[in-house]
Amino acid sequence: MVNLFILCEKNTQQANPFAKALLGRVNRNSDGFYEGTWRGNNVIIGYLGGHLYEQFQPGDYSSSWSAREAKPQDLVKAQPLIPNEWKIKEKKGKVGKQTIHELLMKVKKWGNQAQEIYLATDPDREGTLLGQEVLRELGLMDKVTKRVYVNDMAESQIRKSFEQAQEIENDYLLYQAGLERQRVDWLGGIASFALIKSENMLKGRKQKGTGSIGRVKSGVAIFIHQVNERIDNWDENAPENNKYGIVMKTSDGLILKSERQAPREAQAESWVKKHEQTTLAMVETKDSLRQVNAPMFFQLSDIQAWAKQNKIQKNIMPFLNNLALKGYITYPRTAINVISKSFRDENLVPNAENVKGLLKLNIELPNKTTFDKPWINNTKVKNAGHTANVYGDNVPTEAALQGLEPEEQQLYRIISLRTLGPMMPKGVDKVRQYLSQIDDMPFKASCSAIDKKGWRAITELIKSQKRESGETVFLDGGLKEITFEVERIKRHPPVRITRANLPKLMEKYGLGTPATQENIIKEMIEYKQIKFNGKYFEVTEVGKMLVFNQPLYTFESTKELGKMLLDIQGLGESDQPIPSGTAVNLLASEIKKWKEELLPKLPENMSFFDAYEQKEKVSMSTPKGKEIKFNQEFFGHKFSKEECEQLLAGKEITFKGNNGKPVVGSLKRQKYKGKSFWGFMPNWDKEKYGKARGI
């Protein structure tokens, strides 16, 4: 008898370490799920592999919604495409060597046998959605009693998370917000194909990517375009980019600056002229000690930004996964629902001495176990863990560390240093403030020096060196000879968007999540919507269509939608959660306005796919003499005569697609919408899903 079935999101990243932490060993049954005993219960730990269901395509609801069957005018008239009942369907493909259908049947089998089910997918909106959609579609939701929020893959933290499992009802709002996100993106993306495609075709644009629209991609394109426009048109002499202050210089070397500035240079010069006879001023001093906090623990987006700044060109996610699976670091992957008011981990301090020795640091031992704030980014989150990446409870030996990839060694070192910093005493600076006043104009200056290094003994965490207090001369106050001059204070233009800062900026403005941002950027480059010119990102002509040819997603509306999803989740600014459907209805009203503006412009003879359906077909005979016609091009590659002969002989061929990756496949008889035809078919087992076997 199975007492408990635990469903998590991934195999090697979750199910395997969960089994080690809870069951004490890794023992897999005939279905590949993990089995053992926990707290006297017979337990099966199963896994998914990301989203195993997908939204219906518009054409699945009705042929009148199909972009290939309906006329553009009719499809635009039907907007917004809101189904009477939203539906999802099982995805095609594989997770490892098994098909998605086979995996789902295993989940259903063990879920039906279990007395109760714990949901232990990622503790964020998407993890909740993909877990609950499987359980609901398989009719298992009534058996789910607990939600487990595992934020940290250290074994001790896994056990703690399961011991503190929450009631499944706590997940309701998170699930509703996930559904809303999914439906908003479908409605404004896939379902709005006809609108954006029509807009672009009216402007003579038909190539790949011109029918692609999405909340996040549009936001990224608009953001990059706006930043580049501001910089390219920056006028450093424009009044709004300048203000003018007054500098007071003393005969013994002090430089005090006015606390107020004037918008025009003439105003500041007038003040100086008025006070040119003032040659003496009293300068007061105030001494104090200032505490200096260590840098915060790393979050995923911080690590990604750090890696780019330190010239790590490779995708760091596999490195982080490997370090986490070995227990060398903790690796929470989410940033939405895993924030706490304070972070306490009793495993950090006992391991600090070993980590310190491994990294060959000469520092004062940590003296803290509780770290208040500054990791809060939403005080409404309850029963959550932390978002920090810190060193794990398995400290590697020096030989094991040296055996890692160079990038993994770099990542382990900086994550460990950023863990030790907040545990150490705070830094303390001596500060002297200088204050003076001429008529109604206050002036001030300050000078500081290190009194106690504290965490700054870890020099790699310091951006710039500061002098020790014994090396700094603090001038005295008193009556001093003075002169005035006008200081022009220039406003700086925004920084260009680069590979290093784009993920962090996307997180700041709610564009994607740390786990999806790299793929979004990669896909936009492949679709030729943005390009990197060697120094910074630019929006291409195709990308500008997202900027100018669609009214659904402005930069501001994208941020507003993100806030609305938080409000549905109960974590936004509203006092009470807002009803699900609010964001969908708002977007639908905008789509309706767009439709009404677009319809009068559409010509009767417009067709979306003529340019794509007239591909060159080759007619050749098989070795047995049968004549076959098939498209001679696939994924940007035109088959050579030799390749065509191999295909006709029933052999597999390999070539590079237009994304530079190898494609393996053969000629197959296929069927679409009741029509049979011959065409090239990739071998997904070898090409697309080969890398997924470790999920």
pLDDT tens digits for range 7-43: 999 988 889 999 999 999 889 999 999 999 999 999 9
What whole-number distance in Å separates Cα of residue 340 and Cα of residue 373? 8
Say whether pLDDT at 330 is over 80. no
- Average pLDDT estimate for 544-555: 84
Say whether pLDDT at 438 is over 60. yes
Strand partners, 485: 247
What whole-number distance in Å separates Cα of residue 648 and Cα of residue 679? 11
Q: What are phi and psi of 473, to 5 degrees?
A: -95, 120
Q: Kind and range of the H or E element at 223?
A: helix 215-232
Quick one: pLDDT at residue 309?
Answer: 86
Say whether pLDDT at 405 is over 60. yes
What whole-number distance in Å separates Cα of residue 525 and Cα of residue 316? 19
Positions of CATH 3.40.50.140 in the chain: 2-52+91-164
What whole-number distance in Å separates Cα of residue 550 and Cα of residue 564? 21
Kindly state the percentage of the chain with pLDDT values over 70. Answer: 88
Kindly state the percentage of the chain with pLDDT values over 90. Answer: 49
Looking at 3.50.50.60, 1.50.10.20, 3.30.70.930, 3.40.50.140, the CATH number of the domain 2-52+91-164 comes to: 3.40.50.140
- Average pLDDT estimate for 47-70: 91
Say whether pLDDT at 389 is over 90. no
Positions of CATH 2.70.20.10 in the chain: 240-293+427-486
Contact present, 431 and 447 (Cβ < 8 Å): yes
- Average pLDDT estimate for 307-319: 85
Residue found under tokens 């911080």: 302
The DSSP symbol for 570 reads T
The topology under which CATH files domain 182-233+501-601 is Topoisomerase I; domain 2 (1.10.460)
Quick one: pLDDT at residue 569?
Answer: 84
Give domain 240-293+427-486's CATH architecture: Distorted Sandwich (2.70)
Strand partners, 428: 291, 452
Pairing of strands 144-147, 114-120: parallel
Positions of CATH 1.10.460.10 in the chain: 182-233+501-601
Give 369's pLDDT tier (boundaries 50, 70, 90).
low
What whole-number distance in Å separates Cα of residue 266 and Cα of residue 388? 51
Say whether pLDDT at 271 is over 80. yes
Q: Where are the alpha helices (DSSP H) in 124-192?
A: 125-137, 155-163, 172-188
Quick one: pLDDT at residue 374?
Answer: 42
Pairing of strands 633-634, 637-638: antiparallel
Say whether pLDDT at 372 is over 60. no
Residue 681: CB atoms within 10 A of its CB come to 13
Residue 369: CB atoms within 10 A of its CB come to 14
In terms of C-beta density within 10 A (0-12 exposed, 13-18 middle, 19 or more buried), how is residue 178 classed?
buried
Quick one: pLDDT at residue 296?
Answer: 78
What whole-number distance in Å separates Cα of residue 492 and Cα of residue 494? 7
Give domain 300-423's CATH architecture: Orthogonal Bundle (1.10)
pLDDT tens digits for range 181-222: 999 999 998 899 899 889 888 887 776 656 677 888 888 999
Quick one: pLDDT at residue 115?
Answer: 97
Quick one: pLDDT at residue 142?
Answer: 96
Positions of CATH 1.10.290 in the chain: 300-423
Say whether pLDDT at 112 is over 80. yes
Give 584's pLDDT tier (boundaries 50, 70, 90).
very high
Residue found under tokens 């003579």: 204
**What average pLDDT is seen over the chain?**
86
Strand partners, 72: none
pLDDT tens digits for range 71-98: 889 999 999 999 999 999 999 889 988 9
